[in-house]
A = this chain, B = another copy of it.
Amino acid sequence: MGLIVQKFGGTSVGSAEKIQHAANRAIAEKQKGHDVVVVVSAMGKSTDALVNLAAEITSEPSKREMDMLLSTGEQVTISLLAMALQEKGYDAVSYTGWQAGVRTEAVHGNARITDIDITAIQAQLAEGRITVVAGFQGVTEDGGITTLGRGGSDTTAVALAAALGADKCDIYTDVPGVFTTDPRYVRSARKLAGISYDEMLELANLGAGVLHPRAVEFAKNYQVPLEVRSSTEHEAGTLIEEESSMEQNLIVRGIAFEDQITRVSVTGLTSGLTTLSTIFTALAKRNINVDIIIQTQADDGEADISFSVKTEDAAQTVAVLEEYKNALDYEKIETERKLAKVSIVGSGMVSNPGVAADMFAVLAEKNVQVKMVSTSEIKVSTVVSENDMVKAVEALHDAFELSKQPSAV
Asked whether any CB of chain B lies closer than 8 Å to the CB of A56, the reply is yes
Partner of A86, one of B62, B68, B82: B62
0 or 1 for each of A83-108: is its CB under 8 Å from B? (1 = yes): 11011000001101011000000000
The answer on a CB contact under 8 Å between A66 and B79 is yes
Asked whether any CB of chain B lies closer than 8 Å to the CB of A303, the reply is no
Asked whether any CB of chain B lies closer than 8 Å to the CB of A125, the reply is no
Residues of B within 8 A of A37 (CB): none
The answer on a CB contact under 8 Å between A20 and B57 is yes
Q: Whole-angstrom distance from the CB of A147 to the nearest CB of chain B?
A: 12
Residues of B within 8 A of A50 (CB): 76
The answer on a CB contact under 8 Å between B99 and A143 is yes
Residues of B within 8 A of A376 (CB): none
Asked whether any CB of chain B lies closer than 8 Å to the CB of A64, the reply is yes
* CA–CA, A16 and B71, complex, Å: 19
* CA–CA, A68 and B92, complex, Å: 13
The answer on a CB contact under 8 Å between B61 and A68 is no
Partner of A69, one of B16, B76, B93, B145: B76
Q: Whole-angstrom distance from the CB of A148 to the nearest CB of chain B?
A: 17
0 or 1 for each of A46-78: is its CB under 8 Å from B? (1 = yes): 000010011011101110111011011001101
* CA–CA, A68 and B77, complex, Å: 10
The answer on a CB contact under 8 Å between B84 and A57 is yes
Most chain B Cβ neighbours within 10 Å, of A58, A84, A120: A58
* CA–CA, A69 and B82, complex, Å: 10
0 or 1 for each of A132-162: is its CB under 8 Å from B? (1 = yes): 0000000000011100000000000000000
Asked whether any CB of chain B lies closer than 8 Å to the CB of A19, the reply is yes
The answer on a CB contact under 8 Å between A53 and B80 is yes
* CA–CA, A71 and B76, complex, Å: 9
Closest partner residue, chain B, to A66 (CB atom): B79
Most chain B Cβ neighbours within 10 Å, of A64, A68, A93: A68
Q: Whole-angstrom distance from the CB of A367 to the nearest CB of chain B?
A: 54
Closest partner residue, chain B, to A70 (CB atom): B79
* CA–CA, A144 and B98, complex, Å: 11
0 or 1 for each of A10-45: is its CB under 8 Å from B? (1 = yes): 000000100110000000000000000000000000
The answer on a CB contact under 8 Å between A75 and B72 is yes
The answer on a CB contact under 8 Å between B19 and A57 is yes
**Residues on A close to B: CB < 8 A?**
16, 19-20, 50, 53-54, 56-58, 60-62, 64-66, 68-69, 71-72, 75-76, 78-80, 82-84, 86-87, 93-94, 96, 98-99, 120, 143-145
Q: List 26 A-B contacts (CB under 8 A).
A: A16-B56, A53-B80, A54-B79, A54-B80, A57-B83, A57-B84, A60-B87, A65-B79, A65-B80, A65-B82, A65-B83, A65-B94, A68-B75, A68-B78, A68-B79, A68-B94, A68-B96, A69-B75, A69-B76, A72-B72, A72-B75, A72-B76, A75-B75, A96-B145, A98-B98, A99-B145
6 extra interface residue pairs, beta carbon distance < 8 Å, beyond A57-B83, A61-B83: A58-B83, A58-B87, A60-B87, A65-B82, A69-B75, A72-B76
